[in-house]
Structures are given as structure tokens and as C-alpha cells.
A and B are shown apart, each in its own frame.
Chain A
Amino acid sequence: MSSHREAPEIAKDPVADSTDLYAFVSPDAPDTVTIIANYIPLQSPAAGPNFFEFGDDVLYEIHIDNNGDGVAEISYQFRFNTINHIPDTFLYNVGPIESLTSKNWNRRQYYTMWKKERDGAITRLAESLRCPPCNIGPLSTPNYPELQALAVHSVGAGRKVFAGQRADAFFVDLGAIFDLADLRPIANLHATFGLPALAASKGVNSTAGVNVHSIAMQVPISEIAYRGHAPASPIAAHASIGIWTTASRQQARVLRSAGGDGVGSGPWVQVSRLGNPLVNEVLVPISKKDYWNASEPKDDKQFAAGAAHPELASLLNVLYPGAFPNLAAYTGARADLEAIFLTGIPAGVVSPNFSTFTGKVEADMLRLNLAIPPSTSPKPTGVVGGDVAGFPNGRRVADDVVTIELQALAGATIPLVDKTYSPDKAIADVSDGLTGAGLNLWPTFPYLGIPYSGYAVPAA
């Protein structure tokens, strides 16, 4: 998955596990950027009696690098605290939750948001902001659209923020990809290791009907742009910024014999990181995945070999014998993937006026060109499909990053850097067979759909 359970240790710590990161120029407020960091993967909507919530002992951050050195100029920090307002009941709520101050709502989360700048200055932007409840069902959360709208907070200077449960918009055929890459649309071509042949079929969305917890914010472009000025053109210096999210825990924690959540102390230690989708998932060896999570983008040169010589690309012609001869013969370093993931795409590679290049520092960050306006007819395949407002120029919630990255790994983007290369014919069918059609989305901030209700999902 994008980054759901992508490393062995963070897979055991879902509260701190980042799952997806989105960043795009807001389609209905194009002088702002929306950034969404999702955590707590694969939430079954029917989660009572204890519904999902952020970790009070986790520091969540969204980082912005606007000068291309892989170090954050701005970090937005979020800390949560949870209160049982009716401590003597076992119930999450004792009646319908009609508002965020409902007396029927027992266990609630609040959060504080800070802005930390590179020089160390920290500004508290807001405190005691309210999260919405989880979407429980028609009796407990009878008007969820209204509840979630109440949890969109204005936080001065043109900012909006939301933190709480949403529908997971990521779509992927996880069952196929990690069954030795037997992509269903081309499963009939798979070698199958001598086992019975598979039939080609449509993809199966492994994340259908599950929820996540989102930290979403919408901030003015001028707040996060280099030196506070929106870039004049897409190819202006520092027109593109780098974005990533992290979760950290304090270095020491002692559990109390009396129960409860224990006490923490010491420096914050990063345990989860996410920039581009699927990087730690697919490009980093299993023995280094948790180390990658603890590392910083500025040090990603140490992981660059995973992009330059991706393991999955070398496996494709083995798993699909004869289907990828051109890819198999291509032994050079994958400069196309290094550009997409580690430096951004320089101007002139895709078109004269397109760039996501942030500089020579190799750093996994989700890069967004602040001068490229939102598309009026977005295409899920983003830049590959001719829509320069989509991935890998940022990432919108409906972008089909799995297909884009599978095709890129299979060689579709090599011609961008090597005009002599011809992609294999099979590449057009390289996909997990999903398009994102029918995604549960929301038309305005925070754009991810209303979370699936525990009463309604899974359907009987």
C-alpha cells in the first residue's frame, strides 16, 4: 500500500503509522495549498467499543522544504489529548452526538497546532481544537456531514485545519501485488512458478470501505513558498516545494503497574516518515525500512540505489517471461525514477514550462509546483496522462499513484531521460486494474470522503 504497514516495526504501531500524504493546489481556493497526512491504516468502520483515535503520546508533523536542501523551513506540529467526559460508562457515547459539544459524547479528542520554523521559532497557532467523533451509525452520529463540517477550523491568516476520521481514498490491489506481483489484468502472462496458470481479471480494491485518520490543512501559498512569495512561473527558482510527514515518539516510556498509558520522557524519536507514495514500500529493502522511517530526507542519498536500480523492475521480465525485453536489456541507472522521487523533474524534460525540480539534493519528498494551477479536468494518471497538476506534481486524492508508479517502474518514463529507449508493448497493461472510479470523496476541504459508518460497512 502507499505506506500502510510498510515497515516491520511501524506495522506494529498503527497510531504512528503514516499511510498517505497528499498535497495539491486547492481546486476551490487556488491561492492555497491543501496538505493531508493520513495515519492509522485499515480501520474497520465497526470498531466499538473503542473507536480509532490519534495517539496522545505521538508528535505528528507536516514538513515543508522550500529551498531544496531536504531540510524543513517550516514544520506544522500536532499533539492530541483525549478526555473521557463521562468516565463511569463503558460507552463512547450515551445518545446521539448532535454537535461537537454534545453532552452525549463521552470520549473526545482535542489538539494543539504549532508552526515551527527553521530557526527554531515556534508559534502556537491554535489549541483545544475539536476532532469530530468517528462515524458510528445512524443513532450515534445521525448527521455526520454536519458534524465533520464543525470540525473544520479556521486558524488565522487564511488557514484551515481538520483532524479526524475520513474514508481512505487510496486504492490498490494489495492482494495481487504482494502475491508475487500477479497483477490481475495481466495475470495470464505470469510465470506462476510452475503452479497452475492464472486468468486475467479485474483488480480488487483492498482498501475499499476502510477509514483512516487525517490531519488536513489548507494554507496560503505565500506562507509556505520560498521567502514568502508565490512563484511567478512554474520554472522560476524554488517554484516547487518538498513536503513530507513524520510521526515521533518520546525516547523513553515507562508503563505503570496500575494501568493506563504510562509516562513518556526524552527527545522525540521519529518512527514514521512519508513523502512520495510507495517509496519505502517498494524501493527500500526490508532490513532498512524502519531505518528509512527514522531518517531525514536530506540523507536519502544513502537509499538512492533503490530508485536507480529498482528490484521490482528487474523482476518483471522474470515474473512475466518475454513481456519486458526492452526493460530487461536496460542496465543503466534509472535517472527517470531518481528525478521523480529524489530531485524532482527538471524543466524541459516533460515540457518547457513544467518542473518539479527542487535541486540536486536527493531527498524523498512529495514535490509540488506552486505556480501550476489546478486542472479543470483532472486525470488520475497525472503527468503521465498529460495532466501536469497531478502526481508526481504533488498528489491529489484521486490520483492513481499505483498505476503511475507501476508503469514508471516498468519503463514508461525512461524515454523522458533516454530518447533511444522504447517502452515494452506490455506496459500499457501494467496496472493493478483499478482506476479509482467511484471513490468516496468530498467536494471541499478536507476533500477525503465522509468516513464509512460502522453500522453500514461492511454491508450485510
Chain B
Amino acid sequence: MEQINRRAFIARSGAVAAAAGAAVLIPGQIAGAVTRASNGAAAKSIPTPLVATVGKDPAAPIIAHLRNAATGEIAVFSGSEEFILHDPGLAARLVIATEGR
């Protein structure tokens, strides 16, 4: 099965790694479906277009949890924050990845 590292994940999610600094730009078509929860707070909408800094440490982990493949709900954890994506296409690609196709 193909190794999915952090960079590959970002690329597959439709996000683009910015060349300047360690910023990740999430395009408008999915950013509108992104909500954020931090420190246990209820998830809230994030204005679009979203520009989310990865943080001071570019090696800090980003962890994604496909919560519901059918609805495309994906929780993405970075630093001390949680972002919620609703992206059925990405969810489907992740499922395919786990099946080794």
C-alpha cells in the first residue's frame, strides 16, 4: 500500500502547501465545509477562504480521523485544535487507500 505521509495527505485533500512559510491554503470549495473546535469547545464555522497556519513547528503532526465514510466527515487534528471537514470525495479516496487500491 502506498505510504501516506503528511504532505501527501494535504495534497490529496485538495489543500495546497504554500511555498512561503509553513501555511496551508484550503481552497474555497472545501473551506466552506470546515469547522473548528479547540480545547473541547463546540465546533464553529471558519470564514472562507481559510488560511490556517501549521504553526511554528513544521514537523508538528497533523492527524486525520475519518469519522464517517458515508458522509465524508473527517476530523483533522493539528496543534491543540480540531478541524472538521465534510468531503465525501476525500473520504472515498481514503477508504480506497486503506483497501490498497
Contact = CB atoms under 8 A, between A and B. Distances in A.
Interface of A: 250-254, 263-270
12 contacts: A252-B77, A254-B61, A263-B63, A264-B61, A265-B60, A267-B37, A267-B38, A267-B40, A267-B41, A267-B77, A267-B80, A268-B80
Nearest to A59: B80
B82 A267 contact: yes
Contacts of A254: 61, 63
Interface secondary structure of B, over-half rule: strand
A194 B38 CA distance: 55
Nearest to A265: B77
A250 B38 CA distance: 11
Given A251-B77, A252-B77, A268 B39 contact: yes
Contacts of A264: 61
A265 to B, nearest CB: 4
A267 B37 CA distance: 8
A253 B77 CA distance: 10
Given A254-B61, A254-B63, A265 B79 contact: yes
Minimum-distance CB pairs A-B, first 3: A266-B77, A265-B77, A252-B63
Interface in B53-72: 60-63, 65
B21 to A, nearest CB: 20
Given A250-B77, A252-B77, A267 B65 contact: no
B64 to A, nearest CB: 9
A265 B62 contact: yes
Interface of B: 37-41, 60-63, 65, 75, 77-82
A253 B61 CA distance: 10
A243 B60 CA distance: 34
A266 B82 contact: yes
A265 B40 contact: no
B81 A266 contact: yes
A406 B60 CA distance: 49
A265 B60 CA distance: 8
B61 A268 contact: no
B65 A252 contact: yes
Contacts of B80: 250, 266-268
A210 to B, nearest CB: 32
Contact of A270 (B40, B61, B75, B79): B40
A264 B79 CA distance: 8
A269 to B, nearest CB: 6
Nearest to B60: A265
Nearest to B39: A267
A381 B78 CA distance: 49
A266 B63 contact: yes
A270 B63 CA distance: 19
Given A252-B65, A254-B63, A266 B40 contact: no
Contacts of B60: 265
B27 to A, nearest CB: 23
A182 to B, nearest CB: 41
Contacts of B41: 267
A265 B39 contact: no
Contacts of A252: 63, 65, 75, 77
Contacts of A251: 77, 82
A406 B81 CA distance: 43
Contacts of A270: 40
Most buried by B among A250, A253, A254, A266: A266
Most buried by A among B60, B65, B80: B80
Contacts of A250: 77, 80
A263 B80 CA distance: 12
Nearest to A266: B77
Given A263-B63, A266-B78, 15 more contacts: A250-B77, A251-B82, A252-B75, A253-B63, A254-B63, A265-B60, A265-B79, A266-B80, A266-B81, A267-B40, A267-B77, A267-B80, A268-B40, A268-B80, A269-B40
A206 to B, nearest CB: 34
Contacts of B81: 266-267
A253 B63 CA distance: 8
A264 B40 CA distance: 15
A263 B59 CA distance: 11
Nearest to B59: A263
